[in-house]
């Protein structure tokens, strides 16, 4: 499947900003199942320094500074990506075996996967999370079955409510309110798996949305998305989307992964002045039909 | 040890060991003591240090008594201690604030003989080399993680590992430029490491300071003992940093990045910066532009190629490290390779106790050597065998966080209850790798001069190493910290009551450090340039202002105090009240109404005087002014000479110790004020005579001039208000406040009268205390600044010269008009042509209606009013100059905010 992704982030500042330093992660990641045909980011006003680098998780990050006074800043990423179904081997592994392999890693591959079993800023273990996740894990031996169970329970027991949470919402608050957005569900699921020593990472990206029957999809109505990647042993990772209760196939587009949102947020910056900034995000994911004349 | 040989020693009958000399000095049972070490060479060294050769001369051949010797020793150290106390007030780095610490330099250095030192130094050097290897690996190829040598949880499970810095240590560049280790000795005297310091190790600045103090008070011993010098170490550190910085750009600029004045280490940072010749910078002083680091200076941005970092890893860059402070974009500059940071961001990882626990094995694997300097016995529970040991021995072990650098206050184990214990065990069992257990440990002791005698106190020592090519060179010496009290060791540099210099005794006189030439080319001659950091200029300016304000306040208060003793006339009393009020022009409370007797008025003045001096709640009290002097002074510590810094420190010490003197005890008050005035005058003299006429001095002096002229304008205005203020006693007081009495007396040899007084205080450009003089100085100073700002300053200078012109117009003749109450309604003090003032400054005609403004004044006092108008005008020009300088040259760190906090 081939997609065109358009992702525009705009800030309108309350007062002029003479200097800002920013870091963005809006370039799609190159993977076995994901080919990046083109990826372009334009920044307005034009930045003085732009540097691309591979971050510690292998994502393509970009740093830029704007040194002229500005009250508006926009970052527009346009990419064309070809996504295929992930290589599925359907690993049959008991999660307890996986955990012991990671706990006392004998192989390099397991050692590096093990870094995703530790607490991070937003995905950390708590007794509440442990209790929630244990129901799924204790009644399943198989890793994939256990993870699916956990995903299904998050999907059914939590309501998706846009803007119901902020970055400061704790996992316990989420467990209490039982409502949140994709980032919350992903982080809750990651934390639940980490409680049992299963390495899990946070994936940011997009998902193709389908308009309701008989309706036309509005351009820019999509949003950035987040889901979970779970270590299945032997260097294999399987992606689960708790917001939609599906195993990720070829309708997701991966931008970056990390321990949680903090590692992969699409844009972060430090600026001088700026008053109260107003953020607008527009995302559009559209499928390019195979017979399309879209240039590669 | 030239003077006394071992033979001499034995010539004193009965002296075989320290116990013969100090029978009361006894080691704490089970602990090793440095003084009682059983080694003839060590004994000899201590013996010669503790006794003084002159007393030995006397002892020779005289029947020996331990008491007599003990008395000699006591005498000697008492006087050494006294010397130190008199000369080293700066050892109280900050007398206020949370970072307050006052440690005493113990007069007895810790002596370590050469052969013992060699073994220890080899251990320190090896440990530095090992930690450097490990750090470079985890931020580089991660081979040691891949092969399991370093357990993955110790990297990715530890918050001290900064993933975003991975790959930033360039090939061939070190991870540790500077390394420090906390050391102690076990009961057999073997040296052990307690903790490693790798982020921005502090303490080596203090070693220099300790060394300078002690080597001057014990100059002979220092020379005779062939104490190894430490200067070479710092030269090496500087060379190493320069070498990697110069790879980026020849003649690179290095700054020492300090967390700032509120940090514990600021005092030392400033000292070290000055010693190494680096610019002291704080995060606010630096900015990243186009991937390069710059320092903000008066003239603009200056490129920085290397940073000696004293800031914690996670406080370096708010953009990438989520810190609250730091230099945004610094990590990117590092990634770009445009700046070398010593030590690189992320090095704090090597400080984890868990890393220390697995060093012996890593040393074998990585260096192929046995670890020479092991850590204090500790067990990391991440290792299964260790964990089992810990479970079985939990009752006698001290359990700590394995991943956080924490000062081990190795005191006896607090008795744990059974439930505490099972809870602890459960915690450890869930995540064993997060815990480390320390064996109970008795710190060795060292002799300390306390309570007029030598006592054994628990001791911890900090050693330092720096990179020299591929090896680590160890600082010959270090800093020892002696106990929080006589039983509890102070584990970190920040705790503990005493500090000690460490003397490594060489076998031959050390080769003096020659001033080495830079490796390539000749040193470019430099004159003071305007690359002064804006923040420093600002602090120097305020230091000038506040110190001058303190001086004015003291003179003022002293004059008022002296007059309070015998005033009976109610008018005079009221006039003094007015003079007093000139001290606090802004927020003084209203005078109580209906006071008719002079006693009443004088009592209120006394109360107010007391308030303006002592009251910490009153913003402009002398006490608070001196605090402001201090807070600016510490900020620019590296810009002031040691002497001038010490002078001010003395003064501030006076301030902090200042006991409140009752208002009734005016004589005492005057004495105390005079004492402070002496210190301040000495400081002004030092600034005038010793400070290079660079931009720093310019700003300091501008601060002084602005403050002085404002004060004088206030004083003069205060006596324009009242008829009686024109009387001789008032004029005398004003001359005294403005320190011009002598000049007046020399010139006029008569009672003080208004015309000559005004001439002297206002018009005479040769009186350094007068208004005209300050104006001409300000004109000169701003002229020098015009090198970096032509247009704006030209405008300011224009205004200054208008004021000077207006003052010159006051001639003797027009002054005499002032006394003439009946004549002449012209305004002789105002420039004749008002066109010379810009429109906004034109005199407001409505104010000229004198009857409305001062209904109680006679119209004939119009001259006086005109004089007031002139003074007001000068005041507004000065205020304008202040505002201009501040907006043009000083740092205004606007609010910094973080984006990306909303999804």
Mutate to test the interface with B, among A111, A123, A259, A283 (most CBs of B within 10 A): A111
Nearest C-alpha of chain A: how many angstroms from B335? 9
- B443-478 per-position pLDDT tens digit: 899 998 888 888 899 999 999 999 998 899 999 999
Mutate to test the interface with A, among B143, B385, B892, B897 (most CBs of A within 10 A): B897
Nearest C-alpha of chain A: how many angstroms from B630? 30
Nearest C-alpha of chain B: how many angstroms from A292? 33
B325 pLDDT higher than 80: yes
- What residues have CB less than 8 Å from A245, skipping those under 6 apart? A151, A152, A155, A156
How close are the terminal C-alpha atoms of chain B, in Å? 72
**Interchain contact, A48 vs B322, CB within 8 Å:** no
B161 pLDDT higher than 80: yes
Chain B CB contacts of A48 below 8 Å: 289-290
**pLDDT (0 to 100) of residue B5:** 53
Count contacts between A and B (CB, < 8 Å): 105
Return left, alpha or beta for B41; rule: phi > 0 is left, psi -120 to 50 is alpha, else beta. Answer: alpha
Chain B CB contacts of A124 below 8 Å: none
Mutate to test the interface with A, among B156, B163, B289, B434 (most CBs of A within 10 A): B156
Nearest to residue B259, comparing CAs of B128, B491, B99, B463? Answer: B99
Beta bridge pairs of residue B256: B280, B308
Nearest to residue B90, comparing CAs of B578, B630, B451? Answer: B630
Q: In this predicted structure, which of A101-105, B509-513, B547-551 has the lowest mean pLDDT?
A: B509-513
Chain B CB contacts of A266 below 8 Å: 900
**Interchain contact, A106 vs B148, CB within 8 Å:** yes
**Interchain contact, B146 vs A118, CB within 8 Å:** no
Number of H helices, E strands in chain A: 7, 15
In which residue are the tokens 């501008």 written? B702
* CA B674 distance to own-chain centroid: 26
Q: Say if strands B340-342 and B306-309 run parallel, antiparallel, or are unpaired.
A: parallel
Nearest to residue B34, comparing CAs of B99, B152, B117, B104? Answer: B117
B265/B811 Cα distance (integer angstroms): 57
**Interchain contact, B291 vs A49, CB within 8 Å:** yes
Measured over the CA atoms of residue B638, residue B644, residue B647 and residue B648, the dihedral's sign is negative
B337/A contact by beta carbon, under 8 A: no
A117 → chain B, closest CA residue:
B157
- B381-440 per-position pLDDT tens digit: 999 999 999 999 988 888 888 988 765 543 335 556 777 788 888 888 988 999 999 888
- A125-164 per-position pLDDT tens digit: 999 999 999 999 999 999 999 999 999 999 999 999 888 8
Chain B CB contacts of A104 below 8 Å: none
Nearest C-alpha of chain B: how many angstroms from A291? 36
- B93-102 per-position pLDDT tens digit: 443 333 334 5
ipTM: 0.89
Which of B 291-330 lie inside 8 A of A, CB atoms? 291, 318-320, 322, 328-329
Helices B204-217, B231-246: inter-axial angle, 10-degree rounding: 150
**Interchain contact, A57 vs B164, CB within 8 Å:** no
3-state secondary structure A127-183: HHHHHHHHHHHHCCCEHHHHHHHHHHHHHHHCEECCCCCCCCCCHHHHHHHCEECHH
State percent of chain B over pLDDT 70.
78
Q: Which residue has the higher pLDDT, B762 or B55?
A: B762
- Residue A282 CA: distances (Å) to CA of A3, A218, B55: 16, 11, 88
Nearest C-alpha of chain A: how many angstroms from B156? 5
**Closest Cβ–Cβ partner in A116, A167, A181 for B901:** A167
B167 → chain A, closest CA residue:
A56
* C-beta of residue A227 within 8 angstroms of C-beta of residue A182: yes
**Interchain contact, B164 vs A21, CB within 8 Å:** no
B895/A contact by beta carbon, under 8 A: yes
Chain B CB contacts of A272 below 8 Å: 894-896
- What residues have CB less than 8 Å from A230, skipping those under 6 apart? A143, A147, A193, A198, A199, A200, A237, A238, A239, A240
Coil, helix or strand for B550?
helix
**Closest Cβ–Cβ partner in B157, B318, B899 for A11:** B899
* C-beta of residue B40 within 8 angstroms of C-beta of residue B48: no
**Closest Cβ–Cβ partner in B164, B898, B903 for A270:** B898
**Interchain contact, B332 vs A21, CB within 8 Å:** yes
**Closest Cβ–Cβ partner in A18, A111, A269 for B900:** A269
- B799-836 per-position pLDDT tens digit: 999 888 888 877 555 555 454 432 333 333 333 333 33
**Interchain contact, B148 vs A67, CB within 8 Å:** no
**pLDDT (0 to 100) of residue B73:** 79
Side-by-side strand order, sheet with A200-207: A246-247, A237-241, A225-231, A200-207, A252-258
State percent of chain B over pLDDT 90.
28
Nearest C-alpha of chain A: how many angstroms from B41? 52
**Interchain contact, B153 vs A112, CB within 8 Å:** no
- B501-534 per-position pLDDT tens digit: 999 998 888 776 643 444 444 444 555 566 788 8
Tell me the whole-structure pTM to 2 decimals.
0.78
Show the tokens assigned to B677. Answer: 């005035």
**pLDDT (0 to 100) of residue B103:** 62
**Burial state string for B658-692 with b = 16 or more CB within 10 A and e = fewer than 16:** beebebeebeebbebbeebbebbebbbebbeeebe
Coil, helix or strand for A51?
strand
B324 → chain A, closest CA residue:
A270
Q: How crowded is the C-beta side of B398, counted as CA atoms within 13 Å?
A: 17
**Interchain contact, A63 vs B902, CB within 8 Å:** no
**Interchain contact, A167 vs B902, CB within 8 Å:** yes
What's the rounded mean pLDDT across residues B555-584?
74
Other CB atoms within 10 Å distance of the CB of residue A89: 10
**pLDDT (0 to 100) of residue B829:** 35
């Amino acid at each position: 499947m081939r997609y065109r992704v358009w992702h525009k982030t705009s800030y309108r500042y309350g007062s002029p900003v003479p200097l800002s330093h920013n870091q963005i992660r809006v370039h799609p990641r190159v993977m076995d199942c994901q080919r990046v045909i083109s990826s372009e980011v334009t920044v307005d006003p034009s930045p003085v320094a732009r540097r691309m680098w591979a971050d510690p998780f292998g994502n393509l990050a970009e740093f830029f500074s704007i040194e002229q006074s500005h009250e508006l800043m926009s970052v527009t990423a346009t990419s064309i990506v070809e996504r295929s179904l992930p290589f599925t081997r359907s690993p049959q592994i008991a999660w307890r075996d996986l955990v012991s392999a990671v706990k006392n890693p004998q192989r390099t591959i397991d050692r590096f996967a093990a870094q995703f079993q530790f607490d991070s800023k937003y995905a950390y273990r708590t007794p509440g999370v442990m209790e929630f996740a244990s129901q799924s894990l204790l009644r399943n031996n198989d890793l994939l079955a256990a993870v699916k169970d956990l995903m299904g329970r998050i999907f059914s027991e939590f309501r998706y409510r846009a803007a119901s949470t902020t970055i400061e919402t704790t996992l316990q608050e989420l467990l209490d309110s039982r409502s949140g957005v994709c980032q919350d569900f992903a982080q809750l699921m990651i934390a639940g798996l980490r409680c049992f020593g299963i390495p899990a990472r946070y994936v940011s990206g997009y998902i193709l949305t389908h308009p309701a029957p008989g309706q036309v999809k509005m351009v820019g109505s999509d949003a950035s998305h987040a889901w979970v990647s779970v270590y299945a042993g032997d260097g294999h990772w399987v992606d689960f989307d708790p917001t939609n209760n599906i195993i990720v196939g070829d309708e997701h587009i991966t931008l970056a992964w990390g321990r949680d949102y903090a590692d992969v947020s699409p844009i972060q910056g430090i600026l001088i002045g700026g008053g109260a900034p107003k953020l607008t995000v527009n995302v559009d994911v559209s499928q390019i039909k195979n017979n399309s004349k879209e240039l590669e | 040890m030239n003077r006394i040989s071992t033979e001499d020693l034995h010539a004193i009958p009965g002296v075989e060991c320290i116990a013969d000399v100090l029978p009361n000095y006894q080691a704490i049972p089970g602990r090793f003591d440095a003084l009682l070490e059983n080694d003839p060479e060590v004994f000899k060294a201590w013996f010669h240090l503790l006794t003084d050769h002159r007393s030995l001369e006397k002892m020779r051949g005289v029947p020996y008594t331990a008491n007599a010797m003990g008395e000699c020793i006591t005498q000697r150290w008492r006087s050494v201690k006294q010397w130190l106390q008199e000369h080293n007030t700066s050892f109280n780095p900050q007398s206020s604030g949370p970072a307050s610490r006052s440690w005493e330099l113990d007069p007895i250095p810790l002596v370590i003989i050469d052969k013992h030192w060699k073994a220890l130094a080899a251990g320190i050097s090896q440990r530095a080399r090992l930690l450097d290897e490990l750090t470079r690996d985890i931020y580089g190829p991660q081979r040691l993680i891949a092969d399991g040598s370093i357990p993955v949880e110790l990297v990715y499970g530890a918050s001290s590992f900064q993933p975003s810095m991975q790959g930033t240590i360039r090939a061939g560049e070190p991870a540790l430029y500077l390394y420090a280790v906390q050391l102690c000795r076990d009961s057999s005297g073997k040296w052990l490491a307690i903790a490693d310091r790798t982020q921005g190790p502090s303490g080596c600045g203090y070693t220099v300071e300790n060394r300078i103090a002690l080597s001057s008070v014990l100059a002979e011993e220092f020379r005779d003992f062939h104490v190894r010098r430490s200067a070479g170490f710092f030269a090496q550190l500087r060379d190493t940093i320069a070498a990697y910085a110069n790879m980026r750009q020849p003649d690179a600029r290095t700054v020492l990045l300090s967390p700032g004045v509120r940090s514990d280490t600021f005092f030392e940072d400033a000292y070290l910066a000055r010693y190494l010749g680096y610019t002291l910078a704080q995060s606010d002083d630096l900015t990243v532009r186009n991937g390069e680091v710059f320092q903000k200076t008066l003239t603009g941005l200056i490129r920085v190629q290397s940073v000696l970092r004293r800031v914690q890893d996670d406080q370096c860059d708010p953009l990438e490290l989520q810190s609250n402070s730091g230099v945004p974009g610094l990590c990117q500059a590092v990634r770009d390779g445009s700046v070398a940071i010593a030590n690189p961001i992320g090095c704090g990882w090597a400080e984890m106790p868990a890393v220390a626990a697995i060093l012996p094995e890593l040393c074998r694997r990585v260096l192929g050597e046995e670890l020479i300097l092991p850590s204090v016995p500790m067990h990391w529970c991440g290792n299964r065998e260790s964990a089992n040991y810990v479970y079985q021995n939990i009752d006698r072990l001290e359990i700590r966080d394995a991943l956080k650098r924490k000062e081990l206050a190795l005191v006896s184990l607090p008795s744990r209850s059974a439930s505490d214990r099972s809870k602890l065990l459960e915690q450890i069992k869930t995540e064993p790798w997060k815990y480390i257990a320390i064996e109970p440990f008795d710190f060795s002791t060292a002799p300390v001069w306390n309570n007029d005698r030598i006592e054994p106190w628990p001791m911890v020592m900090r050693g330092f190493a720096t990179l020299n090519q591929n090896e680590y060179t160890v600082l010959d010496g270090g800093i020892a910290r002696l106990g929080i009290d006589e039983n509890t060791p102070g584990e970190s540099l920040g705790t503990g009551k005493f500090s000690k210099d460490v003397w490594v005794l060489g076998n031959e006189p050390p080769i003096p450090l020659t001033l080495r030439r830079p490796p390539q080319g000749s040193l470019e001659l430099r004159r003071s340039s305007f690359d002064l950091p804006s923040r420093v200029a600002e602090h120097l300016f305020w230091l000038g202002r506040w110190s001058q304000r303190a001086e004015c306040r003291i003179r003022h208060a002293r004059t008022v105090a002296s007059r309070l003793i015998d005033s009976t006339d109610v008018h005079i009393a009221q006039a003094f009240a007015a003079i007093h009020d000139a001290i606090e022009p802004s927020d003084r409370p209203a005078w109580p109404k209906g006071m008719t007797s002079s006693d009443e008025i004088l009592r209120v003045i006394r109360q107010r005087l007391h308030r303006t001096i002592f009251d910490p709640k009153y913003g402009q009290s002398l006490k608070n002014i001196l605090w402001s002097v201090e807070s600016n002074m510490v900020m620019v510590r590296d810009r002031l000479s040691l002497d001038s810094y010490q002078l001010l420190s003395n003064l501030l010490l006076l301030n902090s110790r200042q006991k409140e003197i009752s208002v009734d005890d005016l004589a005492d008050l005057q004495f105390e004020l005079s004492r402070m005035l002496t210190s301040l005058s000495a400081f002004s003299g030092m600034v005038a005579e010793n400070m290079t006429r660079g931009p720093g001095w310019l700003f300091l002096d501008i601060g002084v001039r602005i403050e002085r002229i404002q004060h004088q304008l206030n004083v003069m205005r205060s006596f324009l208000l009242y008829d009686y203020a024109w009387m001789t006693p008032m004029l005398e007081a004003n001359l005294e406040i403005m320190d011009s009495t002598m000049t007046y007396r020399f010139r006029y040899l008569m009672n003080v009268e208004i015309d000559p007084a005004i001439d002297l205080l206002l018009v005479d450009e040769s009186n350094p205390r007068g208004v005209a003089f300050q104006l001409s100085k300000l004109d000169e100073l701003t002229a020098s600044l015009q090198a970096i700002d032509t247009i704006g300053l030209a405008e300011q200078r224009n205004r200054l010269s208008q004021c000077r012109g207006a003052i010159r117009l006051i001639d003797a003749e027009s002054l005499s008009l002032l006394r003439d109450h009946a004549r002449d309604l012209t305004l002789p003090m105002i420039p004749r042509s008002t066109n010379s003032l810009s429109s906004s400054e034109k005199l407001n005609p409505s104010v000229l209606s004198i009857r409305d403004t001062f209904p109680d004044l006679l119209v004939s006092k119009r001259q006086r009013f005109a004089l007031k108008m002139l003074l007001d005008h000068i005041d507004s020009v000065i205020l304008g100059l202040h505002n201009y300088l501040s907006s043009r040259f000083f740092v205004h760190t606007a609010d910094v905010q973080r984006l990306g906090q909303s999804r």
